[in-house]
Amino acid sequence: MSADPIHVVLCFDDNFWAPAYAVMRSICIASKRRPDLNFHLCHPGLAAGHIADLGRIGEEYGASVHYYDLRENEVFRRVGLKARYSDRLTHVIYARLMVDHILPGEVKRVIYLDCDMYVRHPIEEMAELDLKGHPIAAVRDPHSHIITAGRDLRQNLDLFDPADPYFNSGFLVIDMAEWRKADVLGRLESMIEDGTMDRLYYDQDVLNLIFKHNWLRLPQMWNLLMPRTPHEAFDPALLHYTGARRPWNLVSMVAFGRVYRHVMTNELFYRFFWFRMRRRIKRWFHLK
Could you give the 3-state DSSP secondary structure of residue 288?
Answer: coil
Q: Which of 117, 140, 106, 142 is nearest to 11 (CA)?
A: 117
Give 102 or 119: the residue with its C-beta nearer to another protein.
119
Report the residue from 224, 238, 264, 268 that binds another protein according to the rule CB under 8 A: 224
Q: For the CA atoms of the chain, what is the radius of gyration?
A: 19
2 sits near another protein (criterion: CB under 8 A): no
CA angle 281, 286, 288 (to 5 degrees): 100
Residue 223 CB, nearest approach to another protein (Å): 9
What is the residue-wise DSSP string for 234-270?
G--SEEE--SS--TTSSS---TTHHHHHHHH-HHHHH
Q: Of 10-18, 33-41, 108-116, 158-166, which part binds another protein (CB under 8 A)?
A: 158-166
Footprint of another protein on 225-254 (CB under 8 A): 225-228, 230-231
Q: Judged by CB under 8 A, does residue 156 bind another protein?
A: yes
DSSP line for 41-110: EEES---HHHHHHHHHHHHHH--EEEEEEGGG-HHHHHTGGGS---SSS-GGGGGGGGHHHHS-TT--EE
Give yes or no for residue 84 binding another protein (CB under 8 A).
no
Rank residues 52 and 157 by Cβ distance to another protein and give the closer one. 157
Task: Decide whether 34 or 245 has the Cβ nearer to another protein.
Answer: 245
Stretch that binds another protein, among 3-11, 22-30, 157-165, 180-188 (CB under 8 A): 157-165
Region 115-154 residues binding another protein, contact defined as CB under 8 A: 140, 142-143, 145-146, 149-154
- Judged by the rule CB under 8 A, the positions of this chain that interact with another protein are 140, 142-143, 145-146, 149-158, 161-163, 220, 224-228, 230-231
